[in-house]
Amino acid sequence: MAAFRFLAWLLVAIAVALLGADAVSSLENGSPVVRTTAEIISLFGIDGLALAEAAPKGASQAIATIMDLPLWAVVGLIGVVLTLVFRPLE
């Protein structure tokens, strides 16, 4: 359980760091900057749009939607849900 709790808080910390990176980029440009999941994973050499197109029809639209969301929202939501699921019981 402790490992899952650590993973959950790690995901929340990564989401906060990604949100901070978007905030700093927004301040530098003078206009809002929001990096999508597809933009971030393309830095690792993964084509998110091709991944969405290669998936089965039902999953394809869900993956395409996730690729259009900011990565900090995707990672943060997963982290918060895991934090709630694996919280210490009294």
**pLDDT of amino acid 31:** 95
Residue 60 lies in a domain: yes
**pLDDT of amino acid 68:** 94
Q: Please give the Cα distance from 34 to 37 (Å, whole number).
A: 10
Alpha-carbon distances of 4 from 9, 14, 70, rounded to whole Å: 9, 15, 24
**pLDDT of amino acid 58:** 84
Residue 51 lies in a domain: yes
Q: Rounded to two decimals, what is the model's pTM?
A: 0.86
Number of domains in the chain: 1
List, for residues 75-89, the tens digit of each pLDDT value. 999 999 999 999 887
Q: Please give the Cα distance from 17 to 54 (Å, whole number).
A: 30
Q: Which sign does the torsion angle of CA 43, 49, 53, 57 carry?
A: positive
Residue 71 lies in a domain: yes
Residue 48 lies in a domain: yes
Residue 36 lies in a domain: yes
Q: Which range marks the domain in which residue 39 is found?
A: 2-85
Q: Which residues contact 42 (CB under 8 A, 6 or more apart)?
A: 48
Residue 90 lies in a domain: no
List, for residues 47-80, the tens digit of each pLDDT value. 988 998 898 988 999 999 999 999 999 999 999 9
Secondary structure letter of residue 88 according to DSSP: P
Share of the chain above pLDDT 70, in %: 100
